[in-house]
């Protein structure tokens, strides 16, 4: 199993329906590319081929440009398609777990792409297996097919509703039933899902940055517990359950979503900047820090660092240069290898840092291994003091709703206080944004999930497959 010192996101989804036949695979490419940050291990699309009246799916391990670039040159006439990008650790980089999934069953030709994690998956899987179901993947997403197919309801919308009623946890689905596009968001709204329109084209996406790539400016959030069906440009919405407690994942705003996206009805950029500004206010209230510069750990700390700098009046500088070609870094077995991996990805800019006392801003602290190496590299570059500030609260608990968090034992905040963490990583001080002050940085804080910080999980069971 590969371990990263950052939290891992599971997926991003896109669905497109066009009134006029067009090259749907090509149209899916750009929004999926915009969502690449939500998953880099596999990519795939499914589309309705008009000439053959059936759904085709193509998926593979790799990033969007490698897997789907071939579709930019193909001439395919279609009116509906869905796409998916996936990140995984536990389920492994298996091509059979790549999405979209595609089946033919008694309800028709169906394709599905899923963002999230169904927290009661193991119970439903066991029940289905005991009644004879055969699973092709270890993914929890496949359960939906089985539930839809087994439904006694003949109407597909009723069958979907019956299936969704059984599921708990986080899911934003895009589906195709023949050439009908369907978007579904779980009743608690853990993961974002947006729908937008432009000139006969309707798109359903995980984040609004994907709508920007299609030039769509007219959009809305799909409500938690809402299902939207799109046929020939006509949108029909039906409610699965609108009264459940809202649980928008706060980590989308802290780290996962792109800063140029809007999610949960507000700009990710503004929310992140508020978090940085709040860290500066708290430092000021505690007597202030005699520092020279505010430095982000790029890219995840950029916007919060800007917020900190503007609030504190300290200069903002890029003291670390990120090598964008280094990819995702995983925990390597030896200290030397780990150090080389961090150095390859983040290189200190000595001309800016030498002799300076810095406020270093990052989004979160997982195991502390990367921060420890980073602080040493900064010291070697001549930094006199390092004050690490994190724009999230301390991580103490697992997530059952689509985010890959290491085991409770591995989380550094479960074995060390902020003062001990500072000693461990070699920083002069470490401070986290606490939950109450984080709530002041976002709209509708009462509708957010904070379970990985406070352990208040709405659905306690995890998915056995950890796909």
Residues lying near ligand SF4 in the complex (CB under 6 A) are found at 190, 249-251, 399, 401, 403, 449-452
Least separation in angstroms between CB 39 and ligand SF4: 15
Catalytic residue among 11, 249, 449, 465: 11
- Residue with CB nearest ligand SF4? 399
Cβ-based nearer residue to ligand SF4, 200 or 455:
455
Cβ-based nearer residue to ligand SF4, 18 or 253:
253
Cβ-based nearer residue to ligand SF4, 312 or 466:
466
Interior angle at CA 194, CA 265 and CA 242, nearest 5: 75
Cβ-based nearer residue to ligand SF4, 29 or 255:
255
Least separation in angstroms between CB 451 and ligand SF4: 4
Least separation in angstroms between CB 8 and ligand SF4: 10
Least separation in angstroms between CB 206 and ligand SF4: 14
- Please check whether residue 271 is in contact with residue 278, taking contact to mean a CB–CB distance below 8 angstroms: no
- Please indicate whether residue 105 is annotated as part of the active site: no
Cβ-based nearer residue to ligand SF4, 94 or 397:
397
Catalytic residues: 11
């Amino acid at each position: 199993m590969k371990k990263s010192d950052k939290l891992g996101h599971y997926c991003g989804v896109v669905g497109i329906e066009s009134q006029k036949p067009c090259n749907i695979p090509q149209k899916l490419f750009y929004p999926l590319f915009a969502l690449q940050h939500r998953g880099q291990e596999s990519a795939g699309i499914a589309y309705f081929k008009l000439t053959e009246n059936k759904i085709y799916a193509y998926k593979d391990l790799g990033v969007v440009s490698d897997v789907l670039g071939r579709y930019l040159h193909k001439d395919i006439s279609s009116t509906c398609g869905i796409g998916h990008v996936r990140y995984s650790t536990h389920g492994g980089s298996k091509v059979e777990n790549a999405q979209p999934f595609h089946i033919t069953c008694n309800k028709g030709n169906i394709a599905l792409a899923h963002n999230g994690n169904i927290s009661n998956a193991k119970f439903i899987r066991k029940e289905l297996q005991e009644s004879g179901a055969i699973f092709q993947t270890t993914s929890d997403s496949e359960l939906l097919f089985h539930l839809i197919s087994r439904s006694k309801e003949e109407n597909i919308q009723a069958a979907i509703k019956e299936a969704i009623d059984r599921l708990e946890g986080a899911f934003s689905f895009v589906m195709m039933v023949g050439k009908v596009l369907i978007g579904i968001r779980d009743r608690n709204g853990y993961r974002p899902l947006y729908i937008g329109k432009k000139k006969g084209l309707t798109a359903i996406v995980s984040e609004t940055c994907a709508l920007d790539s299609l030039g769509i400016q007219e959009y809305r959030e799909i409500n938690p517990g809402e299902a939207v069906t799109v046929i020939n440009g006509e949108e029909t919405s039906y409610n699965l359950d609108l009264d459940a407690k809202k649980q928008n994942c706060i980590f989308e705003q802290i780290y996962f979503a792109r800063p140029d996206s809007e999610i949960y009805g507000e700009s990710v950029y503004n929310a992140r900047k508020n978090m940085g500004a709040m860290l500066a206010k708290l430092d000021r209230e505690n007597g202030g820090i005699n520092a020279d510069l505010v430095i982000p750990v790029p890219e995840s700390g950029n916007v919060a660092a800007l917020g900190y700098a503007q609030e504190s009046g300290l200069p903002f500088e890029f003291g670390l240069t990120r090598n964008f070609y280094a990819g995702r870094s995983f925990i390597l077995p030896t200290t030397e290898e780990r150090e080389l991996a961090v150095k390859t990805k983040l290189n200190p800019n000595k001309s800016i840092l030498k002799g300076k006392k810095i406020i270093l801003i990052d989004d979160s602290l997982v195991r502390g291994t990367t921060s420890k190496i980073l602080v040493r590299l900064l010291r070697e570059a001549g930094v006199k003091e390092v004050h690490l500030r994190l724009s999230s609260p301390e991580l103490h608990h697992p997530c059952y709703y689509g985010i890959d968090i290491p085991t409770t034992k591995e989380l550094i905040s479960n074995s060390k206080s902020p003062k001990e963490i500072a000693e461990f990583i070699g920083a002069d001080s470490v401070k986290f944004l606490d939950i109450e002050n984080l709530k002041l940085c976002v709209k509708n804080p009462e509708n957010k999930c904070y379970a990985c910080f406070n352990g208040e999980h709405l659905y306690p069971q995890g998915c056995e497959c950890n796909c």
